[in-house]
Amino acid sequence: MTKIQMQVPLVEMDGDEMTRIIWKWIKELLIEPYVDLKTEYYDLGLPKRDESNDQITTDSALATIKYGVAVKCATITPNAQRIAEYNLKEMWKSPNGTIRSILDGTVFRAPIIVDNVKPFIRTWQKPITIARHAYGDIYKDVEYRVDGPGKAELVFTGENGEIRQTIFDFKGKGVILGMHNIDKSIASFARTCFNYALDIKQDLWFSSKDTISKKYDHTFKEIFQDIYDQEYKLKFEDAKIEYLYTLIDDAVARVIRSEGGFIWACKNYDGDVMSDMVATAFGSLAMMTSVLVSPDGYYEFEAAHGTVTRHYYKHLKGEETSTNSMATIFAWTGALRKRGELDGIEELIGFANKLEAASLRTIKEGVMTKDLAALSETTNQKIVNTRNFLVEIKQRLDDTLS
């Protein structure tokens, strides 16, 4: 078989611990035998980040701007314990935070669905993708603990003077909070969501609490609506998808009753909370993919889970592990498919689809890692170790390709 040729390299961001091992095996077993893989390699494993004073993380994000598509392995975000473990020069920042701030992106998280692994919500049949606004609100707020009587005011000093509003006349103890957002960030969030909906051809929902928050949340609603009407309405009609704005209370009720298959755009706090709820209700963190999309159209694909430290230590001791590689495989297929679309390489798109299908079929046929066994309805399961799960996928992939 001749290997599929690529034109433009993927930006490959390697990572840490168990996911670093899975990463190598996915390439060796599931990609390199079929694709003449072109990547520009950045080792974001903690030792290399430390050695380069974290410059390598910045470089990998800049490469993503240059080439357009990246695939990232999970990485350790160092804490005090990791500083000792890896003898680090500094407590380096979260690589995802660094990359996100350079690409100015929105994170879309979607579950991978298999027939025999049932979500806790019986009606859900298709993925629900959460898009979380990643700027401002309570994550950049100012708070004050009021310890006695006094008047709290909201003061804005602009070029034309001062505007003052009473927040509350305190008779005793209480709390105050001030938060903000900016139109530019809301607008880029809105455009990223509209573009992503067109990209994957799914409806877009956006929810807030505009009936109560008549200026703050109302501004979000208005910016989304204006951009939709002016820039996206016709494109959505052509693609036969819909944009729906609704109150967050109504959205929650609709999400639970729905069968899935849409993108739910959420304000920062709502997205933080709702993505954990949706991920848990779908069954497993190991089956959740994540893609960072920038307003300029750069993509970074990854798994939503971490480096699976507990399994890694077992692996180091020579014990058998059964780590689920689905989300990392889907990060690779997402990136390869996007590269295929951008470069017009049908074969690469086809390969990504076939690899995903072979992975899903493996689980459907009852071959799975330990984490899925408890959730699956298959009676005669075959529980496999980390590497054999990939070998089983490879057998099915070879089957479809021949």
309 binds ligand NAP (CB under 6 A): yes
- Which one of Mg ion, ligand NAP, none is in contact with 202 (Cβ closer than 5 to 8 A by kind)? none
354-373 positions binding ligand NAP, by CB under 6 A: 371
276 binds Mg ion (CB under 5 A): yes
If you ran DSSP here, which 8-state letter would residue 30 be given?
I
- Which one of Mg ion, ligand NAP, none is in contact with 272 (Cβ closer than 5 to 8 A by kind)? Mg ion
- Dist. CA 205–CA 266, nearest whole Å: 9
Q: What is the residue whose two structure tokens read 């729906």? A: 244
Q: Which stretch binds Mg ion (CB under 5 A): 105-113, 175-183, 271-279, 299-307?
A: 271-279
With the C-alpha atoms ordered 37, 40, 46, 51, is the resulting torsion angle positive or negative? positive
280 binds ligand NAP (CB under 6 A): no
Q: Work out which of 289, 307, 362, 376 binds ligand NAP, going by CB under 6 A.
A: 307
Q: Considering the complex, what minimum distance in angstroms separates the CB of residue 152 from ligand NAP?
A: 38
Of 140 and 233, the one with the shorter C-beta distance to Mg ion is 140
Phi first, then psi, for residue 361 (nearest 5°) are -65, -35
Q: Considering the complex, what minimum distance in angstroms separates the CB of residue 126 from ligand NAP?
A: 22
- Which one of ligand NAP, Mg ion, none is in contact with 309 (Cβ closer than 5 to 8 A by kind)? ligand NAP
64 binds ligand NAP (CB under 6 A): no
- Which one of ligand NAP, Mg ion, none is in contact with 363 (Cβ closer than 5 to 8 A by kind)? none
- Dist. CA 300–CA 102, nearest whole Å: 12
Q: Which residue is nearest to Mg ion (CB)?
A: 272
- Dist. CA 118–CA 178, nearest whole Å: 42
138 binds Mg ion (CB under 5 A): no
286 binds ligand NAP (CB under 6 A): yes
Q: Work out which of 57, 64, 96, 268 binds ligand NAP, going by CB under 6 A.
A: 96
- Dist. CA 10–CA 42, nearest whole Å: 11
**DSSP secondary structure, 164-196, as one string:** EEEEEEESS-EEEEE----HHHHHHHHHHHHHH
| Nearest C-alpha neighbor of 284 from the set 117, 156, 165 | 117
Question: Would you give the distance in Å from CA 349 to the centre of its chain?
Answer: 21
Q: Work out which of 3, 89, 173, 310 binds ligand NAP, going by CB under 6 A.
A: 310
Residues in contact with 96: Cβ distance below 8 Å, sequence separation at least 6, in sequence order: 75, 77
219 binds ligand NAP (CB under 6 A): no
In our burial notation (b when 16+ CB lie closer than 10 A, e otherwise), range 247-268 reads bbeebbeebeebebebbbbbbb
Q: Which residues bind Mg ion (CB under 5 A)?
A: 272, 276
Q: Which residues bind ligand NAP (CB under 6 A)?
A: 74-77, 96, 285-286, 302, 305-310, 323-324, 371
